[in-house]
Amino acid sequence: NPDVVATVAPDGDCLGLLSALRSVNFPNEIFLGACSLFMLADPVGAVGVSTTSDLWKPTDLATPPQNKRDELQLYIDVMTEAGHADVINGFAWNYFSDTWNLAAVLASIEGDVTPEAITSAFRATKNLDSFMGPSITCDHTAWPGESACGNQVLLYKVEEGGTQKAITPEFIDTSPYIAVLGG
């Protein structure tokens, strides 16, 4: 009789776990880490499930600060104008954000853009206000020993209709848990 069943696993594992929990009418909280495919595969079963994200989501324009709402709206407008409104809520927002962040890092390079210059620019990136996300620092301190630029997440809950609403008003710093997670 656990209060919560949770995993941070690949989408296939999340799908299987959600299906198993719904088949036995599990009555308590379900947390499916950074999974997202379960929302498409089982929209009814997905309602009420909690997830994480390292970006604000385009299904929730009410919760983020205004500058992040503006960035989300830019993303929505670009996707719509490109004829891809049907995949706005897929993984495209991750790549869109990454492209903006990469452009910001590359713009900091003075001189030739070489592999060494790019590596140096990333390692010099500190407190960059990431596009649709938190501040990021890419000097290998976010996850010691790893090249990740961030360690902050938002918690979301899936609502009727497949939208997700933030249940944390701001990003949560996961650094106190890095050692527990093997970092």
Model confidence pLDDT, tens digit, residues 33-57: 878 889 888 999 999 999 999 999 9
Residue identified by tokens 């104008």 is: 81
C-alpha–C-alpha distance, residues 72 and 62, integer Å: 11
**pLDDT tens for each residue of 92-145:** 999 999 999 999 999 999 999 999 999 999 999 999 999 999 999 999 888 887
pTM recorded for the entire structure: 0.85
* pLDDT at position 91: 79
Residue 35: the pLDDT is 83
Give the phi and the psi of residue 158 in degrees, each rounded to 5.
-75, 130
CA distance 180 to 183: 7
β-strand pairing of 152-158 with 172-173: antiparallel
pLDDT band at 182 (very low <50, low <70, confident <90, very high): low
Whether residue 73 has pLDDT greater than 80? yes
